[in-house]
Structure 1
Amino acid sequence: MIRKNKKAVTILALATTIVASSFAALPVFAQGGPQTVNWTREDVSKIELNNSNTIPYFDVSKLPKMAPGYHMWDTWPLLDRDGNIATYKGWKVIFCLSAPNNLLPGKVHDVATIRYFYSKNGQDWTFGGEFFPEGTAIGQRQWAGSAMLDGDEIHAFYTATGRQTEDHLTYEQRIATATGKIVADSNGVHFENWGPHRVILEPDGKYYETLDQANHGEAGGYAFRDPMWFKDPKTGKEYLLFEGMSGGAVGDRQFKPEYAGSAQYLQQNPVPPSAVHQNGNIGIAEVSSDLSTFKLLPPVIEANFVNEELERPHIVVKDKKYYLFTDTHVSKYAEGLHGPEGMYGFVSDTLIGGYKPLNGSGLVLANPTNNPYQAYSWLVTPKLNVVSFAQFGDLNGMSVGEIGNQPPEWQFKHFGGTLAPTVKLSIKGDHTEIEKILPQGWIK
């Protein structure tokens, strides 16, 4: 996925490489709660692509364009209140971020709008148009979210990016919601009777970095987005998961040995000073039963000094275990670490606390090395069908950063902008593997 993030212009004034003994007694700013789990540098060092996690090559240019006249990318299904794929009067619904297909790929996030499709069989989709009435959503544009159906009421959660009052494009991110009504007949699905949109969550500066903190000093990226509905089947409590970043300005961050992993690993693999810019986390908020209040909780997982972007977090419960998935880019790892454009996952016996990386490293799905950017923004449905979108294909060694320098015709040819083939995932305990590849858009 294409994001505009501020890049550090200088490295923190740390004179020497970080070693374990340097930080044993230093305080840590805004660390996670007592059950927050670290995804460590040692975990990431175990990443290995193999047949069980590598998606087969596909040609992005040959995939049918599902949204006439539009690019589409981040996609999510309509869920019922228990978190299952919802069916309303025989119809299933999916939502996606979209932008007119005459825009260059690098510009689509600047005008992103949520649109939707509906289907009887969960495979053949009809384009429905814009989700919200034009001009009613909060922000300059909408980024990813989720939608929950309760009776005939639909509760939409989304990322409100930028502020309408600004006369230029801005990147502040807040989590917003609106409630409407779903209407369906033999001809299809539409939405009406929307109530007012309202902001329900903003970063607190303690557990979750604010935009002001991100802009203070040598800033890296910034994220407070991607709300995903989740109901805990064990307790009945309801939550929103989201992508955040650990609180505090970069100059306030201190290294903790547990960010690296074992003492032996840290001794053999000193942490470079520039890793201070990586502070991605997966946040969670508790939702009241009437959906009126949303309480920020400490993050579930932090990737301090490891990775700066843990996108679109979501949970699937299987065999009484919680499987937490997230996506990240190859470019978001800290110096000294390497991981593919892929989906990563963790497993725990409890919703909060106890998470361990799946497959030892966390890697669940990766693009093939000969087409490393072919898909992105994976999301696992309750039936373990994984949807994503076709990103950039057949770059022949070119990096994503070089795409914007190519002629428009070249960029359009190499950008998918539509759903990728669905991946069927198999999970056994703390191990996952690709079971088979299904058709494009298959969620049934």
Structure 2
Amino acid sequence: MYRYRSFLGRHKQFSYIAILMGSLTTTAILLGINQQPLGKSNPQASGIAHFTRLDLSDIPSQMKDSRFAMPTFDADKSAQRIPDAKGIDPKDGQVKPLSLWDSWPVTDQDGRVANYHGYRLTIALSAVGKRRDKKGVKMALFAQKIDDKKTDPSSWIYLGYVLNSFTEGTDNPDKTIKKINNEWSGSSVMMNPEDDTIRVFYTGAMTKHGQAQSLSTVRVSVEPKDGSNWDSGLKVNHQKASDHKTVFLGDGKIYQTVNQIKSKNDSFAMRDPHFVAANGHYYLTFEGNTGKKYGDGQVTLNSPEDYGSLESYTSERKKMATNNELGSKAALASGAIGLLELNPDFTVKTVKPPLLMTSSANDITERPDLFFYKNKWYLFTCFQGKSLATTDKRFKDENFLYGYVSTDGIDGPYEKLNKTGLVLGSNTKRNTKKFTYAYTVLPPKDENDDNFTITSFTGDCTFGPTVGLTIKDKETWVQNQKVYDQGALSLGGKHIPASAQHW
């Protein structure tokens, strides 16, 4: 894609059809003549799951089925801020509520919600006052007592920032850590249930350096407030933070580096690291963009498998030839869910092929979530409607959760759940309290249970109400007739009636 991005950035007066017709693609291909068989034009990517333009076009009709709909809920009851989550606004010195968005629980190595010495732990992105993504975003830590029957917002205890400074946990920060000025989403795991540490993986965002992002990790100590008495509550011991380092910046071949971006209109991603342990091996899934090896420029635009079918390939190429905006969006779409195998010290051992590609259809595949359940690997990711490669205005306020499953191991190949991958959709406007996003699917403790937990945030400021999801093999159903307490990490607590959103 680098050639197209550079061209688009320098020659905006030229239409997309000129680029298309000037490439290796011919008029005959645009008309559906001499099309290559699916999987032949980009053989490196033929064994990888694809979110295609056909999948994208199926969304409006598929969302008419209420099994995919996010519940609608009473915002006055289910969009409450956590009472003691407050901080001092550096602008005016006033104490204000924290806005909270993307959140994730601390899990055990199996990906289940951890019992951390009698507590559930959740980390969320935070800012004092209103949400902001590019200036001083900090990870905030929350604890909830497991033996407390309450799971409403007041049950979450705010423990403060995970890291007080962006370089905490290293005496000699590497050059990437030195540039971080925002902490974005990730995952966290209790590696040893007997000690007082958690391993945190997060996105080191360097917004003073364009779109620069890194997959980073740090070990954090969370101790009893009173000596060795865990019942006394928890505190973060910032003096014990350690092993803070950069894990991955992209390799430039399978996954792009930020230096390979050629257009300001192109969205770069090296973020949302999700830790997985399997058979004694450590892995990270993450959001990235594919590099040359897995489709760039002409390869992506001329790749039928990225469209879903030869019929879709023909019709979509015709649309692009007459719609410059659509063609430009498709040309820049190179989203991927990547995979790394890690060494025991959490450095990179092997850079693996993507688990999912969204070439020509979506440029942003956020917050991957991967776990093992009933001898299968389940992969989930979030899509924002506004990031889809479409000019259809209906998608502007829509958000989606997509899912995939592998029966052949963590490397895949992955198949689409529900035939297209769609698991959940929400169509609530962003500037309302009922807006939800950053969906995370949590597996049950018991593999005989097919009820999963979906968490999110709501209103750009607090934990969203928890929703149930039923998974049976390759089919799913959103349990949208009720919602649970905000931020609840299981489905066993209090719930209130709800109904499916209308589309």
| TM-score, normalised by the number of residues in structure 1 | 0.82
Change beyond 3 A, Cα 1:427–1:191: same
Change beyond 3 A, Cα 1:356–1:44: farther
Change beyond 3 A, Cα 1:266–1:260: same
Other-structure match for 1:400: none
CA deviation vs aligned residue, 1:172-201 (integer Å, no higher than 9, x gap): 001111123331322322233111411111
Other-structure match for 2:381: 326
Deviation of residue 57 (structure 1)? 1.8
CA deviation vs aligned residue, 1:283-312 (integer Å, no higher than 9, x gap): 010012343444321111101001010000
Seq. identity, % = 28
Cα distance in structure 2, aligned partners of 1:148 and 1:294:
19
Other-structure match for 1:426: 470
Other-structure match for 1:85: 113
Larger deviation, residues 251-260 vs 109-118: 251-260
CA deviation vs aligned residue, 1:371-422 (integer Å, no higher than 9, x gap): 897100000112221110003xxxxxxxxxxxxxxxxxxxxxxxx4101110
Is the aligned partner of 1:377 residue 2:430?
A: no
Other-structure match for 1:64: 80
Larger deviation, residues 188-197 vs 202-211: 188-197
Deviation of residue 252 (structure 1)? 6.1
Q: Which has the higher helix share?
A: 2
Cα distance in structure 2, aligned partners of 1:331 and 1:117:
31
Q: Trace 1:391-402 onto structure 2 (pairs within 5 A).
A: 391=459
Deviation of residue 37 (structure 1)? 2.1
Cα distance in structure 2, aligned partners of 1:18 and 1:212:
32
Other-structure match for 1:116: 141
In 2, are the aligned partners of 1:35 and 1:300 still within 8 Å (CA)? no
Q: Trace 1:185-200 onto structure 2 (pairs within 5 A).
A: 185-192=230-237, 193-200=240-247
Deviation of residue 366 (structure 1)? 1.2
Other-structure match for 2:104: 76
In 1, are the aligned partners of 2:185 and 2:202 still within 8 Å (CA)? yes
Point out where structure 1 has 5 or more consecutive residues left out of the alignment: 1-7, 392-415
Larger deviation, residues 288-297 vs 136-145: 288-297
Is the aligned partner of 1:223 residue 2:269?
A: yes
In 1, are the aligned partners of 2:214 and 2:246 still within 8 Å (CA)? yes
Matched residue type, 2:245: R
CA deviation vs aligned residue, 1:245-295 (integer Å, no higher than 9, x gap): 111496565421111112233234436232111110000100123434443
Larger deviation, residues 371-380 vs 345-354: 371-380
Deviation of residue 19 (structure 1)? 5.5
Matched residue type, 2:386: S
Cα distance in structure 2, aligned partners of 1:179 and 1:207:
28
CA RMSD of aligned residues (A): 3.0
Cα distance in structure 2, aligned partners of 1:179 and 1:136:
12
Cα distance in structure 1, aligned partners of 2:385 and 2:182:
26
Cα distance in structure 1, aligned partners of 2:264 and 2:163:
37
Deviation of residue 86 (structure 1)? 1.1
**Residue among 316, 334, 347 paired with 2:405:** 347
Larger deviation, residues 378-387 vs 258-267: 258-267
In 2, are the aligned partners of 1:45 and 1:361 still within 8 Å (CA)? no
In 2, are the aligned partners of 1:93 and 1:118 still within 8 Å (CA)? yes
SS of the residue corresponding to residue 99 of structure 2 reads strand
Is the aligned partner of 1:52 residue 2:67?
A: yes
**Residue among 455, 460, 464 paired with 1:387:** 455
Cα distance in structure 2, aligned partners of 1:430 and 1:348:
10
Point out where structure 2 has 5 or more consecutive residues left out of the alignment: 1-7, 22-26, 87-96, 169-176, 225-229, 321-326, 445-451, 491-503
Q: Trace 1:286-325 onto structure 2 (pairs within 5 A).
A: 286-325=341-380
**Residue among 41, 47, 57 paired with 2:53:** 41
SS of the residue corresponding to residue 55 of structure 2 reads helix
Cα distance in structure 2, aligned partners of 1:221 and 1:74:
19
Change beyond 3 A, Cα 1:280–1:32: farther
SS of the residue corresponding to residue 304 of structure 1 reads coil
SS of the residue corresponding to residue 200 of structure 1 reads strand
Change beyond 3 A, Cα 1:30–1:240: farther
**Residue among 484, 496, 499 paired with 1:438:** 484
SS of the residue corresponding to residue 133 of structure 1 reads coil
Other-structure match for 1:144: 185
In 2, are the aligned partners of 1:209 and 1:247 still within 8 Å (CA)? yes
Is the aligned partner of 1:211 residue 2:258?
A: yes
Q: Trace 1:223-242 onto structure 2 (pairs within 5 A).
A: 223-232=269-278, 235-242=279-286
Change beyond 3 A, Cα 1:145–1:32: farther
Cα distance in structure 2, aligned partners of 1:190 and 1:30:
52
